[in-house]
């Protein structure tokens, strides 16, 4: 399922609304079999040889943990991320997009360095949440309690990184150490931007300033 504004990460849970006829067919087939399908971010522009936008080559396979069909035939569901996958090719003449996929593995095992990077990510996650929109306290507590550096990297990327292109880059990084380093840079950049936005926000005495 290619979407213009959503990315799924392993272990994360993404709410999905299914309404298009071909995706309704996909959901029906998935529920009757393995309960799984993939989420991919749609590219902004098609390649020169393509007639329309295509998804990025790397997405995430997920399993349907809950599904509720509405009276109008559409459905709301929760999809839990399982694993990064690469789309090798798309099959022709299918009722909905079907791809040959390759499961992807993380290439850097957790060690003392990744644990230290993950600890820094946890601290910045709290600062990022405080600087921007409110994040549920229970979520922050759950992230802080995670003992797995890879799970923390993916859940923080899914929850707190807002730029879709940066999220896609994080999804595509198989080296855990490099992924954590990039995530730190993303969080630091967002915190700076949010602080600047707060400084530039008009105060009560600024009301009506510049209006003529």
Convert the pLDDT of each residue in 92-122 to its tens digit: 999 999 999 999 999 988 889 999 999 899 8
Give yes or no for a contact between 41 and 59, defined as CB atoms under 8 angstroms apart: yes
Rounded Cα distance between 7 and 14, Å, is: 8
Closest-CA residue to 75 (of 160, 137, 17, 5): 17
Q: What residues in the chain have per-residue pLDDT under 50?
A: 208-212
Q: How far apart are CA 158 and CA 14, in angstroms?
A: 9
CB within 8 Å of 183: residues ≥ 6 apart: 121, 153, 156, 157, 161, 170
The pLDDT value given to residue 109? 82
Whole-structure pTM value: 0.85
Cα 60 from chain centre? 9
In the prediction, which pLDDT does 212 show?
39
What structural domains does the chain harbor? 2-103 (2.30.130.40), 112-200 (no CATH)
Distance CA 47, CA 30 (A): 30
> pLDDT at position 205, please?
52
């Amino acid at each position: 399922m290619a979407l213009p504004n959503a990315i799924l990460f392993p272990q994360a849970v993404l709410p999905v609304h299914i309404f298009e006829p071909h995706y309704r067919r996909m959901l029906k087939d998935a529920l009757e079999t393995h309960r799984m399908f993939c989420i991919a971010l749609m590219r902004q522009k098609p390649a020169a040889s393509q007639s329309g936008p295509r998804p990025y080559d790397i997405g995430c396979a997920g399993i349907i943990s809950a599904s509720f069909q509405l009276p109008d035939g559409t459905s709301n569901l929760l999809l839990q991320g399982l694993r990064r996958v690469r789309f090798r090719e798309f099959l022709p003449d299918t009722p909905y997009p079907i791809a040959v996929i390759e499961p992807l593995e993380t290439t850097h095992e957790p060690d003392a360095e990744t644990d230290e990077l993950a600890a820094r990510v946890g601290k910045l996650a709290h600062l990022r949440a405080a600087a921007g929109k409110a994040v549920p306290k229970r979520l922050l507590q759950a992230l802080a309690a995670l003992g797995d550096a890879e799970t923390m990297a993916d859940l923080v990327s899914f929850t707190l990184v807002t730029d879709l292109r940066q999220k896609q880059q994080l999804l595509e990084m198989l080296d855990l150490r490099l992924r954590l380093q990039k995530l730190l840079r993303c969080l630091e950049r967002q915190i700076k931007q949010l602080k600047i936005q707060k400084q530039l926000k008009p105060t009560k005495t600024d009301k009506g300033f510049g209006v003529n």
